[in-house]
Structure 1
Amino acid sequence: MSQARPDHLTWRHRLVALAMGLSLLVLVVRMVELQVVNHERYIEQAADTRASGAATLTAPRGAILDATGYPLAISIDTWDIYIDRYVWAQDPDAASGAAIALAGMLGLDADQLMASGTSDDRGDILVQRRLPYERGAAIEEADLWGIRSLPSSIRSYPEGDLAGPLIGYVGLDNEGLWGVESDFDHLLRGQPGWVLHERDAVGRPIAFGQHAERAPEPGGEVQLTIDRFIQDIVERHLREALLEYQSSSGSILVMDPYTGAILAMASMPAVDLSAVGTDGAPEGEALAGSVRNRALTDLYEPGSVFKTITTAAALDLGLVNAESGYEDTGVAEVGGYAIRNWDFQAYGWVTVREYLQRSLNTGSVWLSQLIGAENFYDYVERFGFGEPTHIGLSGEAEGMIRTPEDQDWYPVDLATNSYGQGMAATPLQVLTAINSFANGGLLMRPYIVSRVVTNDEVRSYEPVEVRRVVSPATARTMANLMRDVVEGVEWHGARVDGYTVAGKTGTTIVSIPTGYDFDTTIASFAGFLPYERPAVSVLVKIDQPGGDVNLGGQVAAPVFAGVAADIMEYLDIPPSEQLVAGQ
């Protein structure tokens, strides 16, 4: 009878075997982590710890395009040229020959190159950054002793300074400094690459050492809603207006009232992109002022343009119609304050239509009392005042407005707010609100980016309806009233030959810490055309015009007319008579 083989493994043997098995398993897991899972990360760390042999390869920055696909900002391939001082120190004769050859190719002094390249025997020294591609490629081809050429790029703006505050600028570190270049830097900049030549602790190459590299990943492409031709029209007219009216600054916005797309956004004074970083270029506060996108950062009291908002609220609540009226005595008493018309005149019986045509402060005060504070500020909020538009650009101001919930609000605030004073908004907020009268009563979110293309996806941005602010009937009535403000007033400055314009002027006395400066104004006009089928909406804001004229109708309205006429021609929009005939 056979006997079973005795088991000589004790619990100690099994424990040792288990420990060895677990150790082997841990080792295998760690090797997989190092060699497979986190391979790229540890390669990068290796490059960092061998800094003397590693070099960063700048990723080509993505392009910024206008609405038609034309580049507004692109990256051009260049080279960065370095001297390997360790290599030069090993063979001074070869280094001297390389210095003479390199000096001839770059137009530099050979002796100075030699001195710089032999001042130390370790590390690299930069000779020239962002050398034009053809010249850098010639140096790379020459394979000079101890000379290293690394691919790089430089930012170029094909349209020059066009939309400088909006487009932005890229610094030497390849990061956006302001504007779209900054706000969308995470999409535009791409992923830098690197190249690693393994060296010892004193910078000497290790024979048969590791050589590794990762190619840079190009940045994404950002397409804007801006049309470069409309932007050029706007900037030309704004520049001429500031000169003609002796103004220090101003803004012009052009939008598609149905979608909220920004077709042009101009602010002046504007940065000279070609001069940034050069001797004599603006710095500090001067540079900050020239790169500021005033259309969305600067707050102002919108003045009589805001009377359209007050009127729309009264119409939408059914309190009045276009022919309702009041007795204008030239003054309205509210909370112990006397509010007068801008021209200090009284007009007797005045309808809603006539009060807007004459831009009477007493008319908006009358309507605000009918509306009441609760309803009035509800409509103000509906139209988007007091909150950012969420356009997606940094620096956007929210606006300022007091409500009855605020301790420093008084009944007279309701009266002054009704004609756009005692509150503050951005030009973008104002035109976004005015758009609702052109598009049937909808508040459309303004947007500036239409598409982003990256290695992973193509993302398109569609119009966003924020909310309905007034009924379609109210919007039609307001558009009709705004048409009569321009077309029903003889010699109105905003008229455009061949086209029916709807709009409203605004003149605001500039506020200062102690109250108001009655000698200075902000002149503005907001409107859209053609009235029959609005193609664009435009807001013109001219700050503190000098000379003999300073009212919105005298300054901003004619600028609007010039901008609008050129845009109609560029877009090839049929005249209003043809639009009416085709309906």
Structure 2
Amino acid sequence: MRAGKKGNVRQFKKTGAVRTVQNRREKAGNKNRFSIKMQKKVVVLYALVLLAFVGLSVRLVWITRKNENKYQKQVLSQQGYTSTVIPYRRGNILDARGTRLATSEKVYNLVIDAKVMTSKVKDEMKYLEPTLQALGEYFDLDMTEIREYVNTNPTSSWYVPLKQLTYDQISGFQEAQAEEDSNIKGVWFEEEYKRIYPYGSLAADAIGFTTTDGQGSYGLEEYYNDILNGVNGREYGYLNDDLAMERTVKSAVDGYDIHSTIDANLQMIVEKYLKKFNEEYQNKARTGNGAENVGCIIMKANAGEILAMASYPTYDLNDPRNPQAMFGSRMVEQVTNANGYYEIKKTNTIIDQSVIDAMEADDSKEYDPVYLNLNYLWKNFCITDTYEPGSTAKPFTVAAALEQGVVSPNTSFECTGVLEVGGYPIKCHARGHMSLENAIATSCNVTMMKIAQMMGKEYFCKFQNIFNFGLRTNIDLAGEARTASLIYKPEDMGPTDLATNSFGQNFNVTMIEIITGFCSLVNGGYYYEPHMVDKITNASGATVKNIEPRVLKQTISESTSALIRQYCQAVVDYGTGTSAKPPGYKLGGKTGTAETIDPMTNKRSENEYVVSFIGCVPADDPEIAIYVVVDRLNAEKQDNARVATVLARSILMEALPYLNIFMTEEL
């Protein structure tokens, strides 16, 4: 019994132990299993974490977009940054036939980067000597100076020893630099443009020039500066950690081309005869040029287009600061007048090399005497200088009287050679019975004074304004003079002023004022705004703007204009302008002789004059007008308008066939 019980006990214990182990395993398995509730919690938690990441990503994108520039700057500021200007090309100035009068040529500045040149490779300066040797071989440089600069400024990245080199001058060095295994480093070439004037001094007054920073001075260059200039481009970027350039290029925008109305061939003809005139009279009565100034304008009578505009002395547009261009001219100086204002006055000193040397050595003045005299040279006499027009004003006086109705084509006057006005006897070289035609043809002062008295000062001043005297013509050139203060208002005009004004004395004008008004006298009465440019195009040749002839007003009627054409033809046929007539052509015109004001005494000079001739061809149906002015001829006797008529004739004899204006008379 004991043995059986004992066996049962063992079996029970064994069975119980197994069950105990199984229970423990079941409990452990139950602990490792997720309940449905727990699984849901885990899913919710995972979703919340995912949403947090999405929200963070959205926030980062929003912040980045909002502050993109700020962060880009912060990143770029911490890395190697480079920026290079891409220069624009200034637009061309072309003549009426497409010939380039001013253009821009790409040139190169030699830049030395001493930092690169002296950099070491394996503790050795591999680039210094090969680069210096190549610089000495290909360029005209002081290599001692270059070597000294590189050695004393090893961290410098910018040194420019040579500027405005042509491509031919740098191509050999570039080829050597590009060779395989070349050790020529630390030299590069900065591109820019240089203004070039292919014809040198041709049309210098009209074209003007540019300063070293590419801005226009005088003439078309200044007036159309914003049109001719473009916008610089830029190449910029940064060096990443691998020293690779991350770059962006913004291309330059080139300036527009302007197409002028100037005909280069006609301009050459005019300038040839102005130079010949100077050579004829140079040093004749005194040391110096053939005259203080000589000017000529040729204009289309029915459009206002300037075909040629020139004066003498002139200068080379490629070297405008060369003082030799002033040789033979009278020196000017800056003085302070009684009111405390600065004035520019001429002296009796004729400029030569010794005078230039003295001006350069003179440091006692507040201004630069050389630059002051160069500025005087650069001015365009045809639009900036004023003078009394003399008898070229007489057709304007007669036209105004005809328009007012105080005279008719049949009106006549008696000239006794003198007329007393305001207690002053005013002389006239003419005599006898004068019709309107005879009065203009023989240039009778007395007739003009009587006509002005009939008009009265109110109407006389009104017509001066109609003809644009005292007003700017608004020609598209920089520097046109204002003459509003140089003509009379009715309230300021006395009897003597009215009398002298009638024949072109005692008021001032510019050349461009007279020829523009004269064209309206002979073309039917239409006053065209004078202009030098008729088209603007972009760099690819597409037209940006056409500038059409612009009629501003009608000054006189067609019937009055026809009479003025008849009277002006009489001047050349049998009057004071016979020496202006080119063979085979009907020419109308008017001569002029005017006293000048002595700059020393501010009184009328008794021996210095401005003489002139203004004309139109053909006389009965004008296509062009020409105006020649000679300011204080270098001769003992200056009051002879024949010098102006002969000069005009010389120009016309060559210009008219070139312009295809056919002869209307037998030779």
Change in 2 beyond 3 A, CA 1:383/1:94: same
Cα distance in structure 1, aligned partners of 2:79 and 2:271 = 51
CA-CA distance at 1:80 after TM superposition? 1.6
User: Cα deviations across residues 184-203 of structure 1 (Å, max 9, x unaligned)?
Assistant: 12121211223346489xxx
SS of residue paired to 2:625: strand
Tell me if the contact between 2:443 and 2:576 (Cα under 8 Å) persists in the aligned partners. Answer: no
1:106 and 2:139 are equivalent in the alignment = yes
Cα distance in structure 1, aligned partners of 2:237 and 2:325 = 40
1:73 corresponds to: 102
User: For residues 248-327 of structure 1, what are the structure 2 equivalents within 5 Å?
Assistant: 248-277=292-321, 283-327=370-414
CA-CA distance at 1:257 after TM superposition? 0.7
Cα distance in structure 1, aligned partners of 2:137 and 2:213 = 29
CA-CA distance at 1:77 after TM superposition? 1.8
1:117 corresponds to: 150
Change in 2 beyond 3 A, CA 1:402/1:110: closer
User: Cα deviations across residues 543-567 of structure 1 (Å, max 9, x unaligned)?
Assistant: 1013244235321111111111111
Change in 2 beyond 3 A, CA 1:398/1:51: farther
The match for 2:128 among 91, 95, 117 is 95
CA-CA distance at 1:378 after TM superposition? 1.1
CA-CA distance at 1:157 after TM superposition? 1.2
Cα distance in structure 1, aligned partners of 2:98 and 2:70 = 44
Cα distance in structure 2, aligned partners of 1:50 and 1:529 = 73
Tell me if the contact between 1:525 and 1:541 (Cα under 8 Å) persists in the aligned partners. Answer: yes
The match for 1:419 among 492, 503, 521 is 503
Tell me if the contact between 1:242 and 1:249 (Cα under 8 Å) persists in the aligned partners. Answer: no
Structure 2, unaligned runs of 5 or more? 1-56, 178-183, 282-289, 327-369
1:507 and 2:593 are equivalent in the alignment = yes
The match for 1:173 among 213, 219, 224 is 213
Cα distance in structure 2, aligned partners of 1:179 and 1:238 = 20
CA-CA distance at 1:430 after TM superposition? 0.2
Change in 2 beyond 3 A, CA 1:482/1:61: same
Alignment-mate amino acid for residue 511 of structure 1 = I
1:220 corresponds to: 256
Tell me if the contact between 1:522 and 1:552 (Cα under 8 Å) persists in the aligned partners. Answer: no
SS of residue paired to 1:273: coil
2:488 corresponds to: 403
Q: CA RMSD in A?
A: 3.0
Cα distance in structure 2, aligned partners of 1:173 and 1:52 = 26
The match for 2:433 among 349, 361, 366 is 349
2:85 corresponds to: 56
The match for 1:157 among 180, 184, 197 is 197
The match for 1:520 among 608, 611, 614 is 608
CA-CA distance at 1:114 after TM superposition? 2.3
Instruction: Report how many aligned residue pairs link the two structures.
Output: 544
Cα distance in structure 1, aligned partners of 2:166 and 2:159 = 19
1:17 corresponds to: none
SS of residue paired to 2:291: coil
Tell me if the contact between 2:528 and 2:553 (Cα under 8 Å) persists in the aligned partners. Answer: yes
Tell me if the contact between 2:591 and 2:645 (Cα under 8 Å) persists in the aligned partners. Answer: yes
User: Cα deviations across residues 275-298 of structure 1 (Å, max 9, x unaligned)?
Assistant: 334686764122112211110000
Task: Give the structure-1-normalised TM-score.
Answer: 0.86
1:386 and 2:488 are equivalent in the alignment = no
Tell me if the contact between 1:525 and 1:540 (Cα under 8 Å) persists in the aligned partners. Answer: yes
Change in 2 beyond 3 A, CA 1:418/1:292: same
Tell me if the contact between 1:269 and 1:289 (Cα under 8 Å) persists in the aligned partners. Answer: no
Cα distance in structure 2, aligned partners of 1:23 and 1:367 = 90
CA-CA distance at 1:70 after TM superposition? 0.5
CA-CA distance at 1:439 after TM superposition? 1.1
Change in 2 beyond 3 A, CA 1:498/1:271: same
Alignment-mate amino acid for residue 563 of structure 1 = I
2:570 corresponds to: 484
Cα distance in structure 1, aligned partners of 2:575 and 2:505 = 24
Tell me if the contact between 1:57 and 1:151 (Cα under 8 Å) persists in the aligned partners. Answer: yes
Cα distance in structure 2, aligned partners of 1:389 and 1:404 = 19
SS of residue paired to 1:392: coil
SS of residue paired to 1:356: helix
Tell me if the contact between 1:498 and 1:576 (Cα under 8 Å) persists in the aligned partners. Answer: yes
2:265 corresponds to: 229
Larger of the two Rg values belongs to structure: 2
CA-CA distance at 1:242 after TM superposition? 2.8
Cα distance in structure 2, aligned partners of 1:51 and 1:271 = 49
Change in 2 beyond 3 A, CA 1:505/1:52: farther
Identity of aligned pairs, percent? 28
Structure 1, unaligned runs of 5 or more? 1-19, 579-583
Stretch moving more, 174-183 or 565-574: 174-183
Cα distance in structure 2, aligned partners of 1:279 and 1:510 = 28
Tell me if the contact between 2:218 and 2:479 (Cα under 8 Å) persists in the aligned partners. Answer: no
Tell me if the contact between 2:323 and 2:374 (Cα under 8 Å) persists in the aligned partners. Answer: no
Change in 2 beyond 3 A, CA 1:558/1:280: closer
